[in-house]
Structure 1
Amino acid sequence: MKLDDERAGRLILALRQQGVTDGRVLAAMEAVDRALFVHQKFLDQAWEDQALPIDCAQTISQPFIVGLMTQALDVQPRHRVLEIGTGSGYQCAVLSRLARYVYSVERYRSLLSEAEERLRALGADNVITRHGDGGLGWPEQAPFDRIMVTAAAPGEPTELLKQLKPQGVLVAPVGRGSVQMLHRYVGQGDGSFRRESLTEVRFVPLVEGLAKEG
């Protein structure tokens, strides 16, 4: 067994012990090599359960949070999923193994280009990406079965909730401080949503507009 396989196995076991018990989610995370999405200088930490910095002052999320959010999203094989914040592409790659299609929006063009290369290399041909303002979602492709937000919304993500199917699910960190609350919104079929609070998290903020680079 290769060292990375051993590390991946240990990580998956640790995630299960922490409460990520959905077999499909764990299998997807084990199949996606996190080392492909981290900087060269952090390769020795790729399979550790911790967030790591990437370009543009962003991060690749802690595997436990990736697993927790993915499990809460309850993605099924025929679902169309919207992801807000492509980042390194890691979360998108995990979702691509669970959903029919993943639509991912990123405000940093350079991050998006690098993520697209990684996703192509993995053969994730069910991912459609867009350089855009994540807070606005992707209304032309709505409604979605599921929406995941990987940056902290300052308040209720009302614009994104409008893009959910009546019984869809949205998972997002919400809050303006350094610590936010991870919320799960479940559509009730009548245009209303039941909100569940899952755990405290730390995410970079969801910022309006396109990023200015270079």
Structure 2
Amino acid sequence: MDVNARLMEKEGFAGLLLRLRGEGITDKMLLTAMEQTPRTLFLSAAHAHAAYSDRLLPIDCGGFAEGGDLVARLLSLADIKPGQRVLDVGTGSGFLGAVAGRMAERVLTIDRYRTLTQLAQQRFQHLGLSNVIARHADGNKAVSGEGMFDRIIVTASFDAMPRHYVDCLAAGGIMLAPIIGADGITRLCRLLKIGSRFEREDLFPVPYSRMIPGLAAAL
């Protein structure tokens, strides 16, 4: 990374940091993990200048990368702790999975688009994040052979809490998932597992699209 690129990263993160502090997000581990994960590496050169904006930015396969502000809000709500296992459903650019990987013991991120998982894995390797694994998988099905997860973050919407992920949540675990309400608005929901029961909290609107079943045939 050249001097100009490093300067752009530094200035961009400083602006993001101010916005996050204004929202009350001050967790040192989270902010450090974001600072150590250059967002420009997860976007095309054409959109690098907007990497630290709060806008949706296009990525491969017709998808989008959410703004760093939203990624931080999700990870703050997930409250990831060292030693935990995280499932990230909807790899996208891979930025959320990479930041989570600096906080957790292991992160598995899945996406229906092989192109996105391959690009993300290359980025993880470039950053030395050997504990983050990208897998080409159908988000409408349970993840096999992985056991339970302490945190699950879903970035595609469902009509109801996806049961196949609820069943993979460890005791004391937290799941975040966008749910489409009766009013047609997609809101982020936070599910906390306490023993054998669950506490659900409906939060704020999010821009995530409905989960598409199956694996992408060509991409």
TM-score by length of 2: 0.92
Deviations 1:159-203 (A, max 9, x none): 10000112211011111787411000000111x210011211111
| Corresponding position of 2:3 | none
The answer to whether 1:180 aligns with 2:197 is: no
Residue 106 of structure 1 is aligned with which of 103, 111, 115? 111
Q: Closer, same or farther in 2 for the Cα pair 1:59/1:97, shift >3 Å?
A: same
2:71 maps to amino acid: V
Answering whether residue 109 of structure 2 is matched by residue 93 of structure 1, we say no
Would you say the 8 A contact 2:54–2:70 is kept in 1?
no
Show the 5 A alignment for 1:63-212: 63-175=68-180, 179-190=185-196, 192-212=197-217
- Compare 92-101 and 55-64 and name the one that shifted more: 55-64
Show structure 1 runs of 4+ deviating over 4 A: none
Question: Aligned pair count?
Answer: 213
Q: What SS class does the counterpart of residue 192 from structure 2 fall into?
A: strand
Match of 1:32 in 2: 37
RMSD after superposition: 1.6
**1:93-120 Cα shifts (integer Å, max 9, x gaps):** 0100100000111110011111111111
Q: Tell me whether 45-54 or 181-190 shows the greater mean CA deviation.
A: 45-54
CA distance in 1, matches of 2:174, 2:132: 19
- Given that 1:105 and 1:137 are in contact with CA atoms closer than 8 Å, whether structure 2 keeps it comes out as no
**Contact 2:121 2:133 (C-alpha < 8 Å) held by counterparts:** no
Contact 1:184 1:195 in 2 (8 A): yes
1:74-96 residue CA offsets vs partner (Å, 9 max, x unmatched): 11100000110111111110100
TM-score (norm 1): 0.94
Counterparts of 2:141 and 2:147, CA distance in 1? 11
2:129 is paired with a residue whose SS is coil
